[in-house]
Every structure is written in structure tokens, then in C-alpha cells.
Structure 1
Amino acid sequence: MLVKEIMTTNVISVNKDSLVGEAIDLMVEHNVSGLPVIDDHRELVGILTETDLVIGSKKFRHIYYYPSFFPLADVYKNNKTIEEKLKKLVETKVEKVMTKKVLVVNEEDSIDNVVSIMAENEVHRVPVVNQGKLVGIISQRDIIKAYGKMKLTK
């Protein structure tokens, strides 16, 4: 089975210059835990996940928290109010908090390859690109649905 057979093509994405508050609204409205981040030419430039919003960019995860953006840890450490920290977060550009190094796959990749990538890198979704442009996304849920359909047809 290939990525193109089960990927989501109607991708909810966000522009790198959008505010985090807008991205949060999209995530909540569409019940997704991550958004591919694109530029004005629809080229993939990053990904924004709930994890980025809670504990910061992957490059900062080895330290306990990313103080500029993790509201609760900063509240605890610096006695700032949650409202102050959240206001700063939602008014920040997506580009500042997104993960810039994004794992990607191609439409012609096998599902086995995608599952390996997800498992090895502990990610829940992988953008699908064609010549750098976002054309879809494949998530663990897409793979589970495909497995379910395979079981029903046997």
C-alpha cells in the first residue's frame, strides 16, 4: 500500500507568519494535534504540534521546558500569571515555535516506510510533499483506518 492511497489531501495547514493563536483555533476547530507550516508558495517550512506549544521546540526538549512558551512551568518558576504567558504565546508568530526540521514522505512511499519513520522518530503525523510543496499528510489515524479496511475486505 502506498502513501497516496490513504493520505489526507485536504490538509489543514498554517502559514509561517500566522499567529500562534490562529493556529490554535485551527487545531481546535478541526480536532487535529498538529499543523504543517507553509510559506506563501505552499512550500513546507515546518510543523506545529501540540507538543511544540506545551514544551517547546524539539531542540529545547532536553531541558525541562522552553521558558518563553511553556506557560505552566514558567508560572511555577517565575510567578507569572497564566494569562500573561498565554497572551505572549498566542501573539507570537508560528515560525518562532514550530519545529523546523520536518520528516517528510513522498506519495509513492510505502506505508511500511512511513510506519518505520513514525516509530523511529516518535511522531504521529508526517507531511507528504512533492518537490517541496505540501500535497498531503499521513497520520497514525490514517494508517489505522487503512488497516481496518484491509481487515474488512479479507
Structure 2
Amino acid sequence: MRATEYFVHACDPKTLIVRQIMEDAVVTVSPSSSAMVVAELLSEHNFGSVPVTETDGTLRGLVTEFDLLKAVEQGRDLREVSVSEIMTRDVITTTEEMPLMNLIHVLQERHLIRLPVVKDRKLIGMVARRDIVFAYVKARANYWP
């Protein structure tokens, strides 16, 4: 759940930080999961990627639609491919304390759609461009007591 969903007072969106706009209920997969499981998750939930974590929550990578398409293009059967074979390992991440304006800069500079949020190498959330837009709208809204 995003904290911005509970805003009751308008504020300057520039004062927001990642913790306030990130989604903390994140669907993850393990490195040993099949690529088909990821494809099903992405299709079912309308996600563009899913984080890969160890049982203790340590972020190991990210599987994106692009990773799946690449495997399909290579003629691989997603039911027989493990996540660890196709995941992106060098994942750009953010912290929960990053200011909104810095986050926007990273996403634009790197042409990214979403970033995992980590604390001590453990996944604690995901933040996407859509979350920023939602937070901006909520921060600018006029609330009635």
C-alpha cells in the first residue's frame, strides 16, 4: 500500500520521499522459479517486471518483460527456464529516503519505468513512474475536513 493513498492534507510534491509513494506489497519470485511463473504473474497482475529475492528478502535481480521476450525469441520454453538464467542481475535500486525529485531524475536519466526499493540489500518496496504521478495528484488535491 502506498502512504499517499492516506494523504488528508495537500502538500508540496517536491517534499515527498520514496517511502511515501512506494508500493510495499510486492510480489516476488525466487531464483529457482520458472520463467513461466513470471510470465503468468506479469500477465495476471499487469506488471512489467517482478523482483527476484532470496527467502530472507535479499534482492538478487529483476525479471522484466524484455527478459522473457528475449528467452522466447531464442526459442526457449519458459516452462523449462529458471528465473536465475534470464534475470537482470545488475539492478538499479533506490532507498526509501530518496527525495521525489532525485527519483524522477534517475528514472528519466536511465529511461526506467520502475525501481526496487531496498534497505540493507533487502527489498522493501517498488516505486514506478505511475506512483509519482499518483503522489503528485494526491499531494495537490484539495481535501475537505
**TM-score, normalization: structure 2?**
0.82
C-alpha separation in 2, matches of 1:133 and 1:109: 16
State the partner residue of 2:24.
9
Q: Output the amino acid matched with 2:65.
A: E
Cα displacement string for residues 16-63 of structure 1 (whole angstroms, at most 9, x for unaligned residues): 1100001111111211111111112210010111112123xxxxxxxx
CA distance in 2, matches of 1:110, 1:91: 41
Partner of 1:143: 132
Partner residue of 1:78? none
**Unpaired runs of at least 5, structure 2:** 1-15
Q: For 2:52, which of 34, 37, 42 is the aligned residue?
A: 37
CA-based RMSD of the aligned residues comes to 1.5
- Is 1:130 the counterpart of 2:145 in the alignment? no
Unaligned runs of 5+ in 1: 56-68, 75-84
Alignment of 1:5-154 (within 5 A): 5-55=20-70, 69-71=71-73, 74=74, 85=75, 88-153=77-142
Cα displacement string for residues 122-146 of structure 1 (whole angstroms, at most 9, x for unaligned residues): 1110000110000000011111111
> CA shift at 1:99, angstroms?
0.6
Whole-Å Cα distance in 2 between the matches of residues 143 and 23 of structure 1?
A: 25
Q: Provide the rounded CA distance (Å) in 2 between the counterparts of 1:117 and 1:25.
A: 29
Which segments of structure 1 move beyond 6 Å, counting only runs of 4 or more?
Answer: none
Q: State the TM-score, normalized to the length of structure 1.
A: 0.77
2:130 counterpart letter in structure 1: R
User: Equivalents in 1 of 2:110, 2:91: separation in Å?
Assistant: 11
d(CA) in 1 for partners of 2:142, 2:99: 20
How big is the shift at 1:151?
A: 3.0
Once residues 90 and 115 of structure 1 are traced to their aligned partners in structure 2, the CA distance between those partners, rounded to angstroms, is: 36
